[in-house]
Amino acid sequence: MNRNQISTGQMISLMLMFEIGVAAVINLGFSAGRDEWMASLIGMILGAVLFWFYTSISRHFPTLPLTAISRKLLGKYAGAAVGLMYVIYFMYIGSRNLREGSNLINIVLLNNTPLVVITTLMVCCVAYVTYLGFEVLARTAVLLMVFIFSIVLIINVLLFASGSVHVDYILPILADGIGPLWEAITTDTLIVPFGEMILFLMLLPYMRRPEKGGYIGVISIIIGGLLITQTMFLNVASLGLNIAKGSPFPVLSTISTIQISDFIQRVDILVVMTMIITNFYRVALYFTAVLIGASDIFNIPYRKLVIPVAFIFLIWSYSMARNYIFQIEFGVLAFYYVHPLFLFFFPSLLLVAAWIHKRRQRRSTTIA
């Protein structure tokens, strides 16, 4: 895969697609009740700090992906083991996103189509785009980002024009105290999608100026985080807490409240398109990260890995849960037992190793 092909604007577009995709498909922060929008906003701030922490690792080796950095800092075998675990982790999260996108299409659009058919078609599209190259995915993201922001603007105007937004639905603020809010932040909104931005340590080396990755990531998190916060706010303000919390896709339920006379209604197809596009990019980015990591660890050209990785994504996605409800319940366990290991423990270990590595280099330079 050619390096130094991705511009700053393209990387920002990819990051925004990655962040927006999760807010459109799954419920976030509802353990905070009416304050879910506040949990998202604080999660955004902490997420920006967390991403800066991530890039402080890659800043020592800006041209290397995360798997290569782990070998550089932890040694050949321990580093390869950590890198391989990250590849499996990215594969797991990518498969979950594939299943969530397939469930969305199955429930909303193609009720009578077997889920395996939808999943197969989706993973084939992802495999084809990634086979063409990471830069192709990045170029299309810029164009589609303009379309998505246009849709977001139109939907916001229609929601307020139709009188669907009731600010009193989000009141009172902090009615249950700070406890539920903090729980929602630490076990939900900080991790998804902001903690998951560690994925981009695999992709930043392919930028023309990878040393600027930290600034670009923080800017993207602020923009995406504000958009997610607004989405969470509108969900509760339009539907009320109980309906928003009980809906499998609260964004769609929110859009369904739009009705201006008998002229403008049923605009949810625009949101469905946005949800499918952004979810596709999340899956494609995880797919790309797996290809880069596996290619780096096993020293195999990434195009030779496209079909095997696509097959694993397909099997894992289809077999991970019997139904949508079971998948959500299984995902909750990941928040407590899987994500902290890869989003907090291993990055902390790598940062300590990077500090030791840098100190040794200074000593050797002084002695020389």
DSSP secondary structure of 312-330: HHHHHHHHS-SSHHHHHHH
Query: Can you point out the beta strands (E) in 14-146?
Result: none
Residues facing residue 260 across a β-bridge: 264
Residue 280, pLDDT > 90, answer yes
Please give the residue that has the higher pLDDT: either 144 or 262.
144
pLDDT (mean) for 45-55? 93
Cβ-contact 118, 106 below 8 angstroms: yes
Which pLDDT value is given to residue 322?
65
Cβ-contact 304, 130 below 8 angstroms: no
Tokens, residue 239 = 């539907």
Backbone angles phi, psi at 265, to 5 degrees: -160, 170
Percentage with pLDDT > 70 across the chain: 89
Residue 251, pLDDT > 90, answer no
pLDDT (mean) for 93-115? 87
Residue 351, pLDDT > 80, answer yes
Q: The whole model's pTM is what?
A: 0.92
Distance CA 62, CA 58 (A): 5
Query: Helix crossing, 306-319 with 115-132: angle to 10°?
Result: 150
Q: Which residues contact 93 (CB under 8 A, 6 or more apart)?
A: 196, 286
Which pLDDT value is given to residue 263?
57
Phi-psi bin for 28: left (phi > 0), alpha (psi -120 to 50), beta? beta
Which pLDDT value is given to residue 160?
85
Cβ-contact 291, 20 below 8 angstroms: no
Which pLDDT value is given to residue 281?
94
Which pLDDT value is given to residue 368?
54
Task: Tell me which range, 23-37, 207-221, 329-343, is most confidently predicted by mean pLDDT.
Answer: 207-221
Query: How far does Cα 18 stand from its chain's mean position?
Result: 4
Mean predicted lDDT score pLDDT of the chain: 85
Query: Can you point out the beta strands (E) in the chain?
Result: 259-260, 264-265
pLDDT digits (tens, 9 = 90+) for 163-212: 888 888 888 888 777 888 888 888 788 888 888 999 999 999 999 888 88
